[in-house]
Amino acid sequence: MSEPIKVLFLCVHNAARSIMAEAILNHLGGHRFRAFSAGTQARADHQPHPMALAALQSAGIDTTGLRSKNWAEFSQPDSPHLDLIITVCDVAAGEPCPVWPGHPATAHWGYPDPSLVEGTEEVQLHAFKQTMHALHQRMELLVNLPMSRVDRLVLETEARRLAAQSEGADRA
């Protein structure tokens, strides 16, 4: 069996979107994928947003061990060799990135920040669940790519195509 494809999801605080992406890909990816997440400015308490955890748990996705991490953890020489880095928020996509060991493929999958939604707890949780479902749909497409389409260049092209494809569907 070959090594899993290692994917790092980045966001600013690594508390909601990137955390959910990590958990969802690890849930769906089986032995083919291994997901991680980090933030450009990880939360000081290292705790994911409680509603992100609640949304994942309501879908039966394991949240054990999820924590907010700074992206510096993944730019060290002894860090996991990453194959793909996906930013899931526009702010992180605009940040100057570290030089990643191995020069992984990159893509941007932008999602609105559910933690900025105001209203009742029910309204806020609904926003987290919507983001989780959008991430889940894109992850299903990623994990179902044929193995012949996951070399570095093709992986980057496919990840970017999935972003464009989903953005077009969101507008329809």
More confident residue, 67 or 150: 67
Per-residue confidence band for 172, with pLDDT thresholds at 50, 70 and 90 = very low
Of 44, 29, 38, the residue nearest 11 (C-alpha):
38
Distance between CA 107 and CA 157 in Å, rounded?
Answer: 8
Cα(89)–Cα(9) distance, rounded to whole angstroms? 10
Query: What pLDDT shows up at residue 10?
Result: 92
pLDDT at res. 78: 83
- Dist. CA 40–CA 34, nearest whole Å: 20
What's the pLDDT score for residue 98?
A: 63
What is the count of structural domains for the chain? 1
Q: Is residue 107 in some structural domain?
A: yes
Q: Is-contact 56 166, C-beta < 8 A?
A: no
**Model pTM score:** 0.85
Question: Is 171 inside a domain boundary?
Answer: no
Q: Give dist(CA 143, CA 146) in Å, integer.
A: 8
**Residue with the two structure tokens 């990159």:** 106
Question: Does residue 67 sit within a domain?
Answer: yes
11-34 pLDDT, tens digit per residue, is 989 999 999 999 999 999 989 999
At 90, is the pLDDT very low, low, confident or very high (cuts 50, 70, 90)? confident
Amino acid 162: pLDDT = 77
pLDDT of residue 1: 45
Q: Is 98 among the domain residues?
A: yes
Higher pLDDT: 169 or 126? It is: 126
pLDDT at position 51: 97
For the chain, how are helix, strand and coil distributed in percent, rounded to 5? 45, 15, 40
Q: Please enumerate in sequence order all residues whose Cβ is within 8 A of that of 145, keeping only pairs 6 or more positions apart, or say none.
A: 158
pLDDT of residue 171: 46
Question: What is the pLDDT, as a whole number, of residue 167?
Answer: 59
Cα torsion 13, 15, 20, 163 to 10°: value is: -20
- CA distances, 165 to each of 7, 58, 154, 159, 169 (Å): 20, 27, 16, 10, 6
Q: What is the pLDDT of residues 122-143, one digit of tens each?
A: 999 999 999 999 999 999 999 9
Q: What average pLDDT does the segment 104-128 reach?
A: 93
Of residues 104 and 29, which shows the higher confidence score?
29
Contact 35, 9 (CB under 8 A): yes
Residue with tokens 């790519």: 145
* CATH number of the domain encompassing residue 31: 3.40.50.2300
Range of the domain at 92: 5-163
Alpha carbon 20 to its chain centroid, in Å, reads 7
Residue 168 lies in a domain: no
